[in-house]
Amino acid sequence: MVYIILGQGFEEIEAVAPCDILHRGNVPVCFAAVGNEKAVSGSHGITVVADVLVSDITPSSGDIIVIPGGMGGVNSIKADETAMKMISAAAKSGSGLAAICAGPSVFAVLGLIDGKQITCYPGCENMMGKAICSYDKSTVTDGKLITGRAPGSAIDFGLALLTHIKGSQCAEKIRMELVY
């Protein structure tokens, strides 16, 4: 299962575009809300009703945890002990990790991206711990870690996730159907 973690103030396009692309590729994906309410408002006032709460997740090695950007959402996740424990447990179980924009900073707080190749929103590099930031790439994949640069990279990020899960043929098929 791919869990896209939504904290209040998440960047909507960075959550919804990858979710849509994964659905098109027949990948099981759901939104998981931080806190006790499934309705989560994004940074631009769009509310998404999550499928589950983060507290409902028991991560396993086949899962992927996705963190969209949006400083409000990122800070909501960092401030939530349950979310941070779940992400740490996911990493320990061998789950894949993915984040876009400021999202990788959640993994940095937990020391999960030290020494890893990533990309992030320009200007957020100082929040990425000991990760190695690439500034000129829309997405970067380093093993089971996938990162995206910014809202404008949301489709590329979704396609990188799909490539990782289902292979390049499936991702290319979806890319062609999107006329992207």
Q: What is the pLDDT of residues 120-140, one digit of tens each?
A: 999 999 999 999 999 889 999
Closest CA to 41 of 49, 31, 52: 49
Mean pLDDT of 136-153: 97
Q: Assess whether pLDDT exceeds 90 at residue 152.
A: yes
Mean pLDDT of 72-79: 98
End-to-end CA distance of the chain: 25
Q: What is the DSSP letter of 141?
A: E
Distance CA 112, CA 118 (A): 12
Distance CA 72, CA 52 (A): 20
* Sign of the CA dihedral running 141, 178, 72, 38: negative
Helix (H, G, I), strand (E, B) or coil at 38: coil
pLDDT at 135: 81
Domains parsed from the chain with CATH numbers: 2-178 (3.40.50.880)
Closest CA to 64 of 153, 152, 143: 143
Q: What is the pLDDT of residues 27-72, one digit of tens each?
A: 999 999 999 999 999 999 999 999 999 999 999 999 999 999 999 9
